[in-house]
């Protein structure tokens, strides 16, 4: 499913936490790196914080994600996104490029 997702946000947050805590998954963080991953088509899931200010910094990400057929999700806050990505700081955007050992779980959630 591409475009802004109507997926189970809680389950996706749990999946992001698992991938972030694993050695087999790969997460890219930051607006520029996420943009590059989406443009290259290596991103499998893109998550952006809704409280990014100014919005112009991230408003291109959902558009290019949709064009590339990559699932896009929005979380309410940068602090929440940083927390689920197991970072000690806030995070405006992230992309998962490898689900690793959680690939089957991701496949079920992203259907």
Question: 57-82: per-residue pLDDT in tens?
Answer: 999 999 999 999 999 999 999 999 99
Band of residue 43 on the pLDDT scale cut at 50, 70, 90: very high
Band of residue 110 on the pLDDT scale cut at 50, 70, 90: confident
CATH architecture of the domain 3-109 equals 2-Layer Sandwich (3.30)
> Is 0.95 topped by the overall pTM?
no
In the sheet with 45-49, reading across from the earlier edge strand, the strands are: 3-4, 71-75, 45-49, 93-98, 26-29
Say if residue 85's pLDDT is above 70: yes
Say if residue 111's pLDDT is above 80: no
Q: Residue 18 contacts by C-beta under 8 Å, 6 or more apart in sequence?
A: 25, 102, 105
Query: Are the CB atoms for 73 and 9 separated by under 8 Å?
Result: yes
Query: Are the CB atoms for 70 and 109 separated by under 8 Å?
Result: no
Pick the residue with more confidence: 2 or 83?
Answer: 83
Q: What is the pLDDT of residue 89?
A: 95
Q: What are phi and psi of 12, to 5 degrees?
A: -65, -40
SS3 3: strand
Q: What is the pLDDT of residue 4?
A: 45
**Helix (H) and strand (E) counts for the chain?**
5, 5
Question: 8-37: per-residue pLDDT in tens?
Answer: 788 888 999 999 999 999 999 999 999 999
């Amino acid at each position: 499913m591409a475009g802004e997702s109507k997926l189970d946000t809680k389950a996706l947050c749990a999946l992001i936490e698992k991938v972030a805590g694993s050695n087999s998954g790969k997460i890219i963080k930051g607006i520029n790196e996420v943009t590059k991953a989406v443009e290259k088509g290596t991103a499998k899931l893109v998550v952006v914080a809704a409280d990014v200010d100014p919005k112009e910094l991230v408003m291109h990400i959902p558009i290019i994600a949709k064009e590339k057929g990559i699932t896009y999700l929005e979380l309410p806050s940068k602090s929440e996104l940083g927390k689920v990505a197991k970072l000690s700081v806030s995070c405006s955007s992230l992309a998962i490029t490898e689900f690793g050992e959680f690939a089957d779980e991701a496949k079920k959630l992203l259907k």
